[in-house]
Amino acid sequence: MSALEVKGTSAAIVGDHIEVVIRVHNQSDRTHYAYSNVRTFHWDSASRTLKIYLADSALSAKMRDHPHLKLPHMQTLAPNEDAEIKVSLPVEFSRMSGDSLRIEQVSMQDVQTVEVELAFSDTPFYHKVGGKPLGHQLIQWAGKSRIKQKIPIAHPANR
């Protein structure tokens, strides 16, 4: 049994952003710590699915080893209490296309499903300087303590 129970989720396009909320209940008698910012995301235009990772498990090997990888923001989850984790991504963004230096505009306006992965642990994360690269330490810290949720998206009525 996971120490965190999902009590509810929501995803909606609000203005020019996709807003996602995960409501959890910490069922344990210990404080837990969860990622509270997007580490990476993947947009699949064919299936109209947005995968959001509040975890480092989806980082490429190159990014896991990157010396300038930033620490994630963490949210403290008090024992036997509810908490809400909110994240937001722009509906439209620019990215480099493949190996070329071409910039492409991407719209996720037609998103239908948001899949979220949330990493957490019952111990705070402490970066061990001189140890494994930060990305590897974070993945080890969370271990198998992850929540995965599929959330249908609510679109504005005036589409």
Enter the pTM of the model.
0.91
What is residue 38's predicted lDDT score, i.e. its pLDDT?
96
| pLDDT tens over the chain, length 159 residues | 689 999 999 999 999 999 999 999 999 999 999 999 999 999 999 999 999 999 999 888 888 888 889 999 999 999 999 999 999 999 999 988 777 788 889 999 999 999 999 999 999 999 998 889 999 999 999 988 999 999 999 877 655
Q: Kindly list the domain boundaries of the chain, sorted by start residue.
A: 4-152
Q: Phi, psi at residue 64, to the nearest 5°?
A: -60, -35
98 dihedral zone (left: phi>0; alpha: psi -120 to 50; beta): left
- Contact between 119 and 57 under an 8 Å Cβ cutoff? The reply is yes
